[in-house]
Amino acid sequence: MAHRTRKRLTKTELKKDPINDGIVNSITYLQEHIKQFIIGAVILVVLVLVVQSVSQSADRQSDEAFAQYYLAGQFYDMGMNSFRYGQFEMAIGQLQTARQIASNNFRAYPGRISGKRSAILAAKIGIILSMDSEVIPALQSFIASSPGIDLENSARLHLAIALENRGGENDLIIAHELFSELLEITPANSQLAWESNYGISRILFLNREYEASRQYLQSALEISQDTTDFMYYQLSRLDILTED
């Protein structure tokens, strides 16, 4: 087996201290680039402060949006309770206040979940107050903004109801289409399915398609029996109208 010959170090090489040389080179490099290091450190600190500030601002916006949405919801609940007790003027005032707060909240925080929910609440109140012609373009714009599938489905439901209430021939056609689309994409036993079945039943009744109307109303009742007496009254009317 061949033996490797170890290389002899020269006197110059023996005098060199690699560790010391490394330290000296590092100090020299630092001295030559000290300005760049300082600038880099300052930029890093500024970035950290900016990120913290943005995060805190985002948290504040989220909290404010939620607080306004909650406040609007409280006025909405008060308004509906006033309606139940026959205090109609008070109810209308409370609902108008709720709608104004909700609308402002959505305009201020359109990207926040509470802001988006406020848009739906404002539309719902607008429908109650027979403001369908204002609600319809607002909901169309909201849907076009792609707010997320759940909020979009809710907006489609309210848009269908507003169109149904406005009652034009084309309005009823589009409302029927919206209700039908919701039935296709939502769980069969969901609240949206219940609302959509009932909505289609109402439109078919207006069109005097009584047998089809009865079927959709029955589908709604199969989803939930916890409903208004009017639905059972309507079912009785349809039973009479569809008798042979």
Class of domain 167-244: mainly alpha
**Amino acid type, 3:** H
- Give the residue among 89, 69, 68, 66 at the shortest CA–CA distance from 79: 89
8-state DSSP, 148: -
Read off the pLDDT band of 242 (50, 70, 90): confident
With a cut of 80, say whether residue 134 has pLDDT above it: yes
Share of the chain above pLDDT 90, in %: 55
- Mean per-residue pLDDT, 180-197: 93
Read off the pLDDT band of 62 (50, 70, 90): confident
Give the DSSP H/E element, type plus range, for residue 225: none
- Whole-number Cα distances in Å, 39 to 30, 36, 46, 125, 135: 13, 5, 11, 56, 54
pLDDT of residue 41: 62
- Mean per-residue pLDDT, 107-126: 95
With a cut of 50, say whether residue 154 has pLDDT above it: yes
Say which residue, 223 or 37, is predicted with more confidence: 223
Q: Whole-structure pTM over 0.85, yes or no?
A: no
pLDDT of residue 59: 74
Architecture of the domain spanning 55-136: Up-down Bundle (1.20)
Tens-place pLDDT, residues 192-236: 999 999 999 999 999 999 999 999 999 998 887 666 666 666 667
With a cut of 50, say whether residue 158 has pLDDT above it: yes
Indicate the domain borders of the chain.
Answer: 55-136, 167-244
With a cut of 60, say whether residue 29 has pLDDT above it: no
**Cα–Cα distance, 20 to 25 (Å, whole number):** 9
190 close to 221: Cβ distance less than 8 angstroms: no
Tell me, yes or no, if the two domains 55-136 and 167-244 fold the same way. no
Tens-place pLDDT, residues 161-171: 999 999 999 99
8-state DSSP, 112: S
**Cα–Cα distance, 187 to 142 (Å, whole number):** 23
With a cut of 50, say whether residue 11 has pLDDT above it: no
